[in-house]
């Protein structure tokens, strides 16, 4: 059961007055556009891998703000970096230089490969930048079409939903932005057949997140690289959810291609980043490979808030802590153990679970088409199970109708991982 917390860990510990949950919900109902089907809990604060509601109940957060909170909640190094930078310079226009932005760009180039970086505020903006890069690359030849994968997700802007290979996100927003077509994921032959004279780029996720935690196969990635070189196409990768060390390497393709012939030399032409990059502070970025890094020159792209000194200082602190304390290696090792334990749970409860997949701290649990105890509730099985787990003190993220995602902090402890597995076992055991 969820735990009621008192004393220093409770909401009275320097967090201001305890809000009335009904009052907060009323504010949302009256003033907030209802684009989210919220779970009903009013969160007040967090520490490490846990968050607390207005009554002092503690929840183990294995959703991580949808793969955002790389170091959990209120990590001292991140808090300190934000506080110190806020005392110096929060924002300045991109007409001027600031040291944190230059240093962060250098770090991302070190982690990815030779190239340059543009900073923005979100993953959707990062992908928009890649769309513009591709259009500029092919403009003189009249090429503009970008091929993406079915079940992909690339953001909620008009171009983002046009690029996304899921019909549900497009409904009601016609006419869509032209220039995007979708092909099956992990199917190199289907993609090759889809290339037209207008095609200029291919955009994929290394691991599809919203699509259900579907990793790209090594041979698919290597084949895409060869095909794009042969056809003079840009190979673009959306690493918004699966990047920034979530798989145990900085980029998902680095983990996927370990041991694959030629894998160490693999490099896309453009990469979108966000989510875990700022550890909770909003920041996005896109990296462009060296031959194309100057395609977007002065006046061709811009942002008011992208790459502020404050956002870059936060991201620098996140990268420093992860590398200094080897949380990427920890995420890899603990993620492997989680996959093994969850695999055993799948075997114990075949009427509920159909399988488990993922890498590092990005894991998807696949539900059966009609999972025991989760049908006929007026909600999708994934959302219903997410609600049941919330009631037991565990936060997870649904993906589609039949997958739940575990996207915890990279510094999740072994004890916390066991706690999460025990809650899952308890809830699923009752369903089965």
CATH number where 44 lies: 3.90.1150.10
pLDDT at 4: 37
Q: Give how many domains the chain has, as a whole number.
A: 2
Res. 2: pLDDT tops 70: no
Residue ending a domain, among 294, 324, 354, is: 324
Tell whether 140 and 49 lie within a shared domain: no
Residue ending a domain, among 324, 347, 371, is: 324
pLDDT category at 335 given cuts 50, 70, 90 is very high
Tell whether 301 and 376 lie within a shared domain: no
Rounded Cα–Cα distance for residues 159 and 175 (Å): 11
State whether the Cα torsion 288-293-311-331 is positive or negative.
Answer: positive
Res. 146: pLDDT tops 70: yes
pLDDT at 55: 93
Tell whether 226 and 316 lie within a shared domain: yes
Alpha helices by DSSP H, 185-250: 188-194, 218-231
Strands 3-4 and 403-406: unpaired
Average pLDDT over residues 380-392: 97
pLDDT at 17: 58
Query: Model pTM?
Result: 0.94
Rounded Cα–Cα distance for residues 257 and 259 (Å): 6
Average pLDDT over residues 136-160: 98
Tell whether 230 and 300 lie within a shared domain: yes
Average pLDDT over residues 310-318: 98
pLDDT category at 16 given cuts 50, 70, 90 is low
Rounded Cα–Cα distance for residues 185 and 177 (Å): 21
Considering only CA atoms, which of 270, 252, 269, 153 is closest in space to residue 206?
A: 252
Residue given tokens 């007409």 in the structure block: 95
Average pLDDT over residues 32-43: 93
Rounded Cα–Cα distance for residues 12 and 10 (Å): 5
Torsion region of 251: left, alpha or beta (phi above 0 gives left; psi -120 to 50 gives alpha): beta
Res. 12: pLDDT tops 50: no
Q: Which of 13-17, 150-154, 171-175 has the lowest mean pLDDT?
A: 13-17
In a 13 Å sphere around the CA of 67, the CA atoms on its Cβ side amount to: 31
Res. 238: pLDDT tops 80: yes
Tell whether 107 and 193 lie within a shared domain: yes
* Residues classed as catalytic: 153, 238, 275
Rounded Cα–Cα distance for residues 138 and 126 (Å): 19
Tell whether 99 and 116 lie within a shared domain: yes
Q: Quick one: angle between helices 76-88 and 309-324, nearest 10?
A: 150
Considering only CA atoms, which of 154, 176, 151, 181 is closest in space to residue 166?
A: 151
Average pLDDT over residues 99-120: 98
Strand order in the sheet with 199-205: 115-120, 284-289, 270-273, 234-238, 199-205, 145-149, 180-183
Rounded Cα–Cα distance for residues 220 and 226 (Å): 10
Tell whether 189 and 57 lie within a shared domain: no
Residue ending a domain, among 308, 324, 340, is: 324
Rounded Cα–Cα distance for residues 296 and 377 (Å): 50
Tell whether 156 and 255 lie within a shared domain: yes
Average pLDDT over residues 17-33: 87
pLDDT at 3: 42
pLDDT at 132: 98
Rounded Cα–Cα distance for residues 39 and 51 (Å): 14
Tell whether 54 and 100 lie within a shared domain: no
Tell whether 169 and 98 lie within a shared domain: yes
Q: Which of 12-26, 211-225, 264-278 has the lowest mean pLDDT?
A: 12-26
pLDDT at 40: 86
pLDDT at 18: 56
Tell whether 47 and 143 lie within a shared domain: no
Cα-flanking dihedrals φ and ψ of residue 195, to 5°? -65, 130
Mean pLDDT score of the chain, rounded to an integer?
A: 95
Considering only CA atoms, which of 124, 393, 370 is closest in space to residue 240?
A: 124
pLDDT at 7: 34
Res. 13: pLDDT tops 50: no
For the stretch 105-110, contacts whose Cβ atoms lie closer than 8 Å and that sit 24 or more positions apart, written own/partner, are 107/316, 107/319, 108/273, 108/285, 108/287, 109/287
Q: Strand, coil or helix: what is 247? A: coil
Res. 234: pLDDT tops 50: yes
CATH number reported for the structural domain that contains residue 308 in this entry: 3.40.640.10
Q: For 180-221, what is each residue's pLDDT tens digit? A: 999 999 999 999 999 999 999 999 999 999 999 999 999 999
* Torsion from C-alpha of 212, 170, 154, 218, nearest 10 degrees: 50
Tell whether 155 and 32 lie within a shared domain: no
pLDDT at 57: 97
Considering only CA atoms, which of 357, 431, 418 is closest in space to residue 391?
A: 431
* Torsion from C-alpha of 299, 300, 306, 307, nearest 10 degrees: -80
pLDDT at 14: 44
Rounded Cα–Cα distance for residues 295 and 132 (Å): 10
Which domain range does residue 346 map to? 3-74+327-431
- C-beta separation of 66 from 398 below 8 A: no
């Amino acid at each position: 059961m969820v735990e009621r917390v008192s004393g220093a860990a409770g909401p009275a510990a320097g967090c201001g007055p305890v809000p009335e949950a009904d009052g907060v919900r009323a504010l949302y109902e009256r003033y907030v556009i209802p684009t989210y089907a919220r779970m009903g809990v009013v969160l007040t604060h967090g520490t490490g891998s846990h968050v607390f509601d207005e009554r002092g109940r503690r929840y183990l957060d294995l959703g991580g703000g949808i793969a955002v909170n790389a170091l959990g909640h209120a990590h001292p190094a991140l808090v300190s970096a934000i506080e110190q930078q806020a005392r110096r310079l929060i924002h300045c226009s991109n007409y001027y230089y600031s040291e944190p932005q230059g240093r962060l760009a250098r770090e991302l180039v070190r982690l990815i490969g030779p190239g340059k970086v543009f900073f923005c505020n979100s993953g959707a903006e990062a992908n928009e930048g890649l769309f513009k890069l591709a259009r500029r690359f092919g403009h003189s030849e009249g090429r503009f079409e970008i091929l993406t994968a079915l079940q992909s997700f690339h953001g909620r802007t008009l171009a983002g939903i046009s690029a996304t290979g899921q019909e549900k996100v497009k409904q009601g927003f016609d006419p869509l932005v032209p220039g995007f077509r979708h092909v099956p994921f992990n199917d190199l032959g289907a993609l090759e057949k889809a290339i037209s004279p207008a095609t200029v780029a291919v955009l994929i996720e290394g691991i599809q997140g919203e699509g259900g935690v579907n990793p790209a196969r090594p041979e698919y990635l290597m084949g895409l690289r060869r095909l794009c070189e042969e056809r003079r196409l840009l190979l673009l990768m959306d690493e918004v959810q699966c990047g920034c060390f979530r798989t145990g390497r900085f980029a998902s393709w680095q983990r996927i291609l370990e041991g694959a012939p030629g894998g160490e030399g693999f490099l896309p032409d453009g990469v979108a980043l966000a989510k875990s990059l700022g550890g909770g502070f909003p920041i996005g970025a896109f990296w462009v490979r060296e031959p194309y890094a100057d395609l977007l020159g002065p006046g061709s792209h811009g942002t008011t808030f992208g790459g502020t000194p404050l956002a870059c200082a936060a991201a620098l602190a996140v990268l420093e802590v992860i590398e200094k304390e080897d949380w990427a290696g920890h995420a890899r090792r603990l993620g492997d153990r989680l996959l093994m334990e969850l695999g055993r749970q799948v075997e114990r409860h075949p009427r509920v679970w159909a399988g488990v997949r993922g890498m590092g701290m990005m894991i998807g649990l696949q539900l059966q088409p009609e999972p025991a105890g989760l049908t006929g509730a007026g909600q999708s099985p994934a959302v219903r199970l997410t609600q049941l787990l919330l009631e037991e003190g565990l936060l997870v993220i649904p993906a589609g109708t039949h997958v739940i995602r575990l996207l915890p902090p990279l510094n999740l402890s072994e004890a916390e991982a066991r706690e999460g597995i025990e809650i899952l076992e308890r809830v699923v055991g009752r369903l089965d």
